Amino acid sequence: MRLAWPRLNSPTALRWVLAILVSTAGAALVSTVGVAVAGSIPGVGTVFTPRDMAAWDERNFAGRTEYEVVEMAGREALEARCDNAGSALYLDREVDLRETPVMEWSWQVEGTFGADIDESVKAGDDFPARVYVVVDGGLMRWRTRAVTYVWSSATEKLSDWPNPYASQARMVAMRSGPPEQPGKWKNERRNVRKDFRRFHGRDLDAIDGVALMTDCDDLESTARAWYGEIRFVPE
């Protein structure tokens, strides 16, 4: 994916230019503040539904991934369809990690890109599903950091590596290879606060943004994935 640095026209634009989605190609996110507001459930924390996520701001990098709210077996999901493209949905919003440091989410993919891909280099930096968490470095852009949880095609489960486009983003393979049970949701759980401490040496009180992306442009391929709720909950 080619570099694409658009003009900055808002504080949010600057924040996201320096944030994690540069990891897909050094491309910037330019937008206004995210329009979706997550629900807050006592005893649970912050919840983003598929319908919430569908209303997040969008940034296209190379063509457009289609995102649509669908129903799957009576359950609402955000479907992502990618055809030699890559675009992300993102929300610029602070999430408290003191009370709710754990992120839970569910997802599934139709398939992956093959076992012979090197996902640690730019040519292989495509994933059928990604979920990002970001901390903004402000004017000190070199301090921006991110953790990217991916459904990998070839990298061993729970491996981690620096993103080939931007080393300030750490990649973590939550799943690896094609789904063993196609059509079945997989549930994930990560302590985001501990991950930032482990991968970036930072003890954070909050993150500044959440994003998701299905991309397939580097491999000039196709992909299809589904995202369920994303929740931030107590440990």
Does residue 184 surpass a pLDDT of 50?
yes
pLDDT band at residue 212 under the 50/70/90 scheme: very high
Q: Is residue 80 a contact partner of residue 18, using CB atoms and an 8 Å limit?
A: no
Higher pLDDT, 18 or 133: 133
Q: Which of 6-15, 70-79, 123-132, 142-151 has the lowest mean pLDDT?
A: 6-15
All structural domains of the chain with their residue ranges: 11-233
Does residue 143 surpass a pLDDT of 90?
no
Residue 94: per-residue pLDDT: 95
pLDDT band at residue 62 under the 50/70/90 scheme: confident
Domain boundaries 11-233, CATH class: mainly beta
Q: Is residue 46 a contact partner of residue 234, using CB atoms and an 8 Å limit?
A: no
Q: Average of pLDDT values for 158-179? A: 96
